A and B are shown apart, each in its own frame.
Chain A
Amino acid sequence: MDILLWGVLPYVMAAILVGGSIWRYKYDQFGWTTRSSQLYESRLLRIGSPVFHFGLLAVIAGHFFGLVIPKSWTEAVGMSQDFYHFNALFVGGIAGVCTLGGIIILVYRRRRTGPVFMATTKNDKLMYVVLVAAIVFGLWTTLASVFLGGHGHNYRETVAPWFRSLFIFQPDIAAMASAPLSFHLHTLIGMLLFMIWPFTRLVHAFTAPLHYLFRPYIIYRSRDVRRGPGSREQHPGWQPVGTRDRQRK
């Protein structure tokens, strides 16, 4: 069971995430959008959305610190375990609460504003359930360690080594298996979230427009003469088969 969950599932997740994103990017450029509902309702969105998104950015940064940077590195620069832990819980806690608060506002808005609710697809609803669950369980792991057991569980000795070991294809299953249930649940839901990611509106995160900072303001583009107006590029694998005189010029 542990092998399946912590040895196989992460790679399945990665394959789906990467493969799904590439597939979606190639075949569904038109559907690749934030699907903003600001046109319908703006007052709540203007509070909820920035709180959620900035909170989430902080949470991602926190995960990066916690999972990628080994304990020995922070100790090498003279950061004590207590100091690190306090920081992680304090900053992480605030970021997590912001994220959760933001998404609660957004979900409330989505449910209570008629037009926004009408524009919500089944896909969105599933995504919201998984996303909220991931945030809630994530916050639980953080808060549990604050309120329940003193220093709580040191995930930098279990989850983090496992996470890093995934990248060298020698998953440290035992380390992960020894982590408490809350971490297991959070990780599993997180993996589920990444698995549905390419197929939901969350893909907009992959095209965060950072290049806007560097591009010129005015863009000239030549009219594309090879294709008919509006038609997609044809992909080699899907070229229609036909006799010579039936092929398009």
Chain B
Amino acid sequence: MKVMAQVGMVMNLDKCIGCHTCSVTCKQAWTNRAGTEYVWFNNVETRPGQGYPRRYEDQERWRGGWELNRRGRLKLKGGGRLKKLLGIFASPVQPELEDYYEPWTYDYETLTDAPLGDDFPVARPKSLITGKDTKVEWSANWDDNLGGAAEMGHLDPVVERIRKESEERIKFEFEQTFMFYLPRICEHCLNPSCMASCPSGAIYKRAEDGIVLVDQDRCRGWRQCVTGCPYKKIYFNHKTGKAEKCTFCYPRIEVGIPTVCSETCVGRLRYIGIFLYDADRVTAAASIEDEKLLYQAQLDLMLDPNDPEVVAAARGEGIPEDWLDAARRSPVYNLAKVYKVALPLHPEYRTMPMVWYVPPLSPVVDLLSEQGHDAEDAGNLFGAIESLRIPVEYLAELFTAGDTGIVTGVLRKLAAMRSFMRGISLGNDPDDSIPEAVGMESEAMYEMYRLMAIAKYNERYVIPKAHVEQAHNLEEMGCSLDFDEGPGMYPSEPFGEASGRPTPVAVENFYALKQRQTSGGQAEPGELRGRVNLLNWDGRGVPRGLFPESQDTPQMAPDSPAHGGGTAGPGPDYGPPVAEGPDGSPAEGRQGREP
């Protein structure tokens, strides 16, 4: 047994309202550069729908993921090593820009520059690829909210498959339409096929937290990963000629704060935590012949962080104590393995994806209330789940390789939770028969309710900080160039407030703030480094630059910005201030002192 830690995510689809805030904030943070206009590390798809890029789930066409060869061993669906190398000069099945969309902007300048005339000037769409006028015909969420479903609904590969299996009934019931949203990021798989496809070996999985990254210095632009990833979550930056993908916001995760998509999710539907898994058994689990057993195999890989044997093995592998502690409190482990309500997306691709989904119950509930039933009565709900075969079959194609039994089980648990908690809210005695009907204890069901319905910030996100010698110094990095003598470094901001060194995005993070608010004494030296939100300032310790320096305090560091106003103090790159010696230490200036 080789225990490894993996940062995982669970999304509760019941809560997703399809607002695309995650996509937009992610794009602003990561892919608003030239060459990545069409790149959405996070996108939200309406299902049924074609997804992004269009029909990416049709693996007979796109050849992503793994399959078993005749001897029952894993093999890339796109072909073996030699075949990949021979096809390197023109990737055989790479999606083209038209499978994504041609990104565009608008000619806004005309609005102000147009000469006086009878007509209102218009801002015409301009292609960001050719720079010429373009006709906007598709985008990353063109079929949002079933837009065009009547004409294009059949193009959803999942619908296609279900219809093939049971022609008449599905067709009829599909007309009654249901829909839900599916936010997608990179799955950070345990058995990533993008990595296996990369000829250069530029894609790697971080040993500490399992985040899958592309080494931009090693990527040579062979494009095989784009084919290899069945989720089509590796994108080719057409300006730099390198592959790019979702980074799980690793600079944020390293300092213990959630990804941008999670942080900004208005529905608070995302959970981030640690899985412990057995790395030795991944290949065997991914090689199980029956696709429907892959979910269970993946679940079996996840190790119980309370099992002393697992803990001992984890310590043996050098996993630090606070990571083990985080694993014990992990919301994702609880949702996936303890309550068993989170399911992996397309386990049949055999990549062991680590972003899990709680399937949506809402279409069922909505339908019941529309028909005049009591939508939260346990009996009604259970019955409805059984009879509403379409969503369950559709969901099963997405999450369990077609095994409707598992999805029904999950939906029954969610329904039971609603009924059980409604009884309590109405002041009745807890009805233990409801949890029992789905094989759960009352206490467990209440805990599940806490996690899923109340969903407190610090219960949704249990993210241990990365461990390095200067872990306390690891704050969110502003910019990679932002070190002494680096091109991003200026001695002081010569061109006004916003010029010069960038300030970290999250000035004070949740944990730092909480730690300071709950600690008894003065702020630790160096804790009030950087920009301090005065609304949060509680008088313990003095943010640097808030008051004029008095004569007897040591001089400010010669390299620090010369202006006051509490802006942009020395950032995290300066090394730990406490470690400095008495030789005109720049740390002195930033230490907290008595007001």
Contacts and interface: CB of A to CB of B under 8 A. Distances in A.
Check if A and B associate. yes
Interface of A: 29-30, 32-42, 45-46, 49-50, 52-54, 114-115, 118-119, 204, 207, 209-213, 215, 217-223, 225, 228-232, 240, 242, 244-249
A240 B129 contact: no
Tell me the interface secondary structure of chain B in the complex. Answer: loop
A202 to B, nearest CB: 12
A219 B94 contact: no
A228 B484 contact: no
- Which of B130, B195, B484, B557 counts the most chain A CB atoms within 10 A? B130
Interface string B535-576: 000000000000000000000010100000000000001111
Given A45-B90, A49-B90, 20 more contacts: A30-B216, A33-B220, A33-B221, A34-B220, A36-B223, A40-B129, A42-B94, A114-B130, A115-B97, A118-B129, A119-B238, A119-B239, A204-B221, A215-B201, A219-B204, A220-B204, A229-B477, A231-B486, A232-B217, A245-B585
Contact of A248 (B195, B200, B575): B575
Contacts of A207: 200, 220
Contacts of B557: 245
Interface in B262-306: 282
Contact of A220 (B198, B205, B579): B205
Nearest to A210: B85
A212 B191 CA distance: 17
A240 B586 CA distance: 19
B426 interface: no
Contacts of A41: 96
A215 B480 CA distance: 30
A188 B466 CA distance: 56
Nearest to A219: B204
Top 7 closest A-B pairs, CB basis? A209-B199, A230-B480, A240-B485, A249-B575, A217-B196, A29-B217, A35-B241
Contacts of B282: 218
A39 B203 CA distance: 20
Tell which of B201, B282, B576 has the most Cβ of chain A within 10 Å: B201
Nearest to B580: A245
A115 B242 CA distance: 17
A105 B504 CA distance: 49
B219 interface: yes
Interface of B: 81-82, 84-85, 88-92, 94, 96-97, 129-132, 191-192, 195-196, 198-201, 203-209, 216-223, 236, 238-242, 250-251, 254, 282, 466, 468-470, 473, 477, 480-486, 557, 559, 573-576, 579-580, 583-586
A222 B206 contact: yes
A191 B36 CA distance: 37
Contacts of A219: 195, 201, 203-205
Given A219-B204, A222-B206, A229 B130 contact: no
Contacts, number: 163
Nearest to B466: A223
Contact of A38 (B223, B485, B574, B584): B223
B82 A213 contact: yes
Contacts of A212: 81, 84-85, 198-201
19 contacts: A29-B217, A30-B217, A30-B240, A30-B242, A34-B222, A35-B241, A39-B97, A40-B96, A114-B132, A118-B130, A207-B200, A207-B220, A212-B201, A219-B204, A223-B208, A229-B480, A245-B586, A247-B575, A248-B575
A240 B89 CA distance: 41
Nearest to A209: B199
B54 to A, nearest CB: 15
B480 A228 contact: yes
A218 B208 CA distance: 15
Contacts of A33: 219-221, 240-242
Contacts of B468: 223, 225
A39 B96 contact: yes
A39 B94 contact: yes
Nearest to A48: B90
B85 A220 contact: no
A45 B87 CA distance: 12
Given A225-B469, A248-B484, A40 B201 contact: no
B555 to A, nearest CB: 13
Nearest to B485: A240
A112 to B, nearest CB: 13
A200 to B, nearest CB: 13
Given A39-B96, A50-B89, A223-B207, A247 B484 contact: yes
Contacts of B238: 37, 39-40, 119
Nearest to A34: B221
Nearest to B66: A217
B90 A209 contact: no
A248 B573 contact: yes
A207 to B, nearest CB: 5
Given A45-B90, A220-B205, A249-B470, A209 B480 contact: no
Nearest to A212: B199
A62 B206 CA distance: 44
Contacts of B204: 219-221
B480 A213 contact: no
A52 to B, nearest CB: 8
A231 B251 contact: no
